C-alpha cells in the first residue's frame, strides 16, 4: 500500500508539477524571463474572460438567456 501512495506522490511531484519546477529554476537564472511567462499566462486568462463576458452579453441582448429559477437542473430542487 505504501508503494501506491509513493506512486501518487511521484506522479504529482515529478510529472504534473514539472513545469512549475522549471519555472522556479528559470527564476534563479533570469527573473525577467520567468515573470514574462507568468504575465503571458495572465494576459491569456484576461483575454479569455473578456471573450466569455462578450458572448454572455450577446446572448443577453438576443433574449436567449433563461432567467427563471429552474433554468438549471440543480436549482429549485428540494434539499432533503
Q: Could you read off the pLDDT of 29-69 as tens digits, one per residue?
A: 999 998 998 899 999 999 999 999 999 999 889 888 777 76
Q: Measured between alpha carbons, how far is residue 63 from residues 39, 57, 66, 67, 68 in Å?
A: 36, 10, 8, 10, 13
Residues, the chain: 80
Tell me if 67 is assigned to some domain: no
pTM of the model: 0.58
Within a domain: 11: yes
| Residue ranges making up the domain that contains 52 | 2-61
Q: How many domains does the chain have?
A: 1
Q: Is residue 38 part of a domain?
A: yes
Higher pLDDT, 65 or 77: 65
Asked whether residue 73 is domain-assigned, the answer is no
* Residue 17 is assigned to a structural domain of this protein: yes
Q: Cα dist. 62→29, 51, 59, 65 in Å?
A: 52, 17, 5, 8
- Tell me if 36 is assigned to some domain: yes
Establish if 79 belongs to a structural domain. Answer: no
Domain presence at residue 75: no
Amino acid at each position: 500500500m505504501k508503494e501506491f501512495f509513493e506512486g501518487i506522490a511521484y506522479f504529482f511531484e515529478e510529472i504534473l508539477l514539472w513545469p512549475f519546477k522549471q519555472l522556479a529554476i528559470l527564476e534563479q537564472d533570469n527573473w525577467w524571463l520567468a515573470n514574462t511567462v507568468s504575465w503571458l499566462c495572465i494576459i491569456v486568462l484576461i483575454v479569455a474572460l473578456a471573450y466569455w463576458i462578450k458572448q454572455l452579453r450577446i446572448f443577453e441582448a438576443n433574449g436567449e438567456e433563461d432567467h427563471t429559477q429552474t433554468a438549471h437542473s440543480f436549482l429549485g430542487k428540494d434539499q432533503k
